């Protein structure tokens, strides 16, 4: 029985897949899984009776996974812990009220939390000396979280200056559903259109704040790919050449 359990253990599974120990999934791979869960469930459950609850659960899971991933970094842990309280607290409050002030505090605190996480991820990518599966996961996490961070920034702009976008992103459905919760998937969609410079044109920024953020995100997306991904590729090449010499 013990041998059979060993064969089915995660470590044995990764060995059977040909992954070395340093390429086993780690904390950033887990964070990546929670981010993908957030991005998939947001549009999938739009209009569903439990859409607000599911959105709150998935976003809270991402925040907790990020806090867990950097639990050993004291400065990040302190700052993130301070931002985590209003982030999750306001999300829970929005289940019972659609107060605009609570929505703004929720968007700002969640956006700042994710921004701090992106900074921590990027900083880590600049100091790593080898490329592993978890390193690649961290790079993907930073890119995806950038899109979600700007989505919250766009939400704040729309909350403070309604009509900042050409499309009616804030469509208040029947019932007591907060506009921010109901429309977050639209901001995420627009954010990734800017980040990847796809430019479909179905949603256009109108206010100066929305335009400025759109430009900033587009530039960041290009620089991220050009600088950070190029660094990881160069590290992988150097790592492979070193292994060949040995």
Domain harbouring 97, CATH code: 1.10.287.70
Q: How far is CA 130 from CA 29, 66, 136, in A?
A: 16, 22, 10
Mean pLDDT of the chain: 83
Q: Helices 27-44 & 51-69, crossing angle to 10 degrees? A: 170
Tell me what percent of the residues of the chain surpass a pLDDT of 90: 44
Residue 12 placed within a domain: no
Dihedral angle of Cα 82, 137, 141, 94, to the nearest 10 degrees: -60
User: What whole-number distance in Å separates Cα of residue 144 and Cα of residue 141?
Assistant: 5
Residue 173 placed within a domain: yes
10 versus 27: which is more confidently predicted?
Answer: 27
Residue 101 placed within a domain: yes
Residue 63 placed within a domain: yes
Q: Could you list the residue range(s) of the whole structural domain that residue 95 is in? A: 25-245
Residue 117 placed within a domain: yes
**71-118 residue pLDDT tens:** 888 899 999 999 999 999 988 888 887 788 888 999 999 999 999 999
Residue 9 placed within a domain: no
Residue 4 placed within a domain: no
Residue 10 placed within a domain: no
151 versus 21: which is more confidently predicted?
Answer: 151
Overall number of domains in the chain: 1
pLDDT band at 128 (very low <50, low <70, confident <90, very high): confident
């Amino acid at each position: 029985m013990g041998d059979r359990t060993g064969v089915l253990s995660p470590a044995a599974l990764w060995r059977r897949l040909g992954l070395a120990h340093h390429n086993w999934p780690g904390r950033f791979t887990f964070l990546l899984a929670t981010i993908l869960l957030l991005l998939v469930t947001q549009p999938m459950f739009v209009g569903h009776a439990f859409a607000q609850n599911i959105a709150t659960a998935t976003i809270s899971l991402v925040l907790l996974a990020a806090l867990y991933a950097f639990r050993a970094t004291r400065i990040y842990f302190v700052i993130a812990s301070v931002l985590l309280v209003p982030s999750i607290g306001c999300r829970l409050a929005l289940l019972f009220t659609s107060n605009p002030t609570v929505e703004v505090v929720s968007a700002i605190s969640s956006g700042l939390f994710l921004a701090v996480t992106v900074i921590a991820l990027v900083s880590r990518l600049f100091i790593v000396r080898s490329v592993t599966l978890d390193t690649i996961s961290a790079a993907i996490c930073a890119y995806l979280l950038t899109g979600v961070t700007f989505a919250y920034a766009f939400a704040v702009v729309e909350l403070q200056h309604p009509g900042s976008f050409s499309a009616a992103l804030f469509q208040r459905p029947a019932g007591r559903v907060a506009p921010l919760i109901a429309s977050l998937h639209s901001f995420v969609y627009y954010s990734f259109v800017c980040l990847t410079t796809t430019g479909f044109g179905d949603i256009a920024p109108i206010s100066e704040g929305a335009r400025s953020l759109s430009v900033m995100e587009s530039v960041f997306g290009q620089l991220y790919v050009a600088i950070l991904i190029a660094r990881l590729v160069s590290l992988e090449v150097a790592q492979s050449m070193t292994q060949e010499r040995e």
